[in-house]
Amino acid sequence: MKASITEVTDQNFDSTILQSSKPCLVDFWAPWCGPCKAIGPTIDALAADFDGQITVGKCNVDDNPEIPTKYGIRSIPTVVVFRDGKIFEQITGMTSRSKLEGAIQNALNGGAATSPFVMG
């Protein structure tokens, strides 16, 4: 993984994501998932573009089953933006870079969550 992307595990999730002072974007993925591979370069680019402003992490759901289960991740890829230790926005499936950027900008600018129905 690139230096600007953190490997998120069941063991480091709380300290890395929930206790972060910055908004966090977590890509829930698996190595066998074609759409996960397709969205990977977009996640990498966003990590570079927002370096220092947000924490970007990738969580391999095969190696780390506890966190996806806790947050009800049933389909991958799922990208979740966390702010203040809570789910701010959750996007499942292939999505556009602009939608992901919008979620990041909204979290950075203190906007309201666009997915308030998501429990975290």
List the catalytic residue out of 10, 12, 33, 92: 33
Alpha helices in the chain (DSSP H): 13, 34-49, 66-70, 97-108
Kindly list the strands in the beta sheet with 55-60, ordered across the sheet, starting from the edge strand earlier in the chain.
5-7, 55-60, 24-29, 78-83, 86-92
Mark whether 24 is an active-site residue: no
Task: Evaluate whether 81 touches 107 at the Cβ level (below 8 Å).
Answer: yes
Mark whether 33 is an active-site residue: yes
List the catalytic residue out of 17, 25, 26, 36: 36
Q: Which residues are catalytic?
A: 33, 36
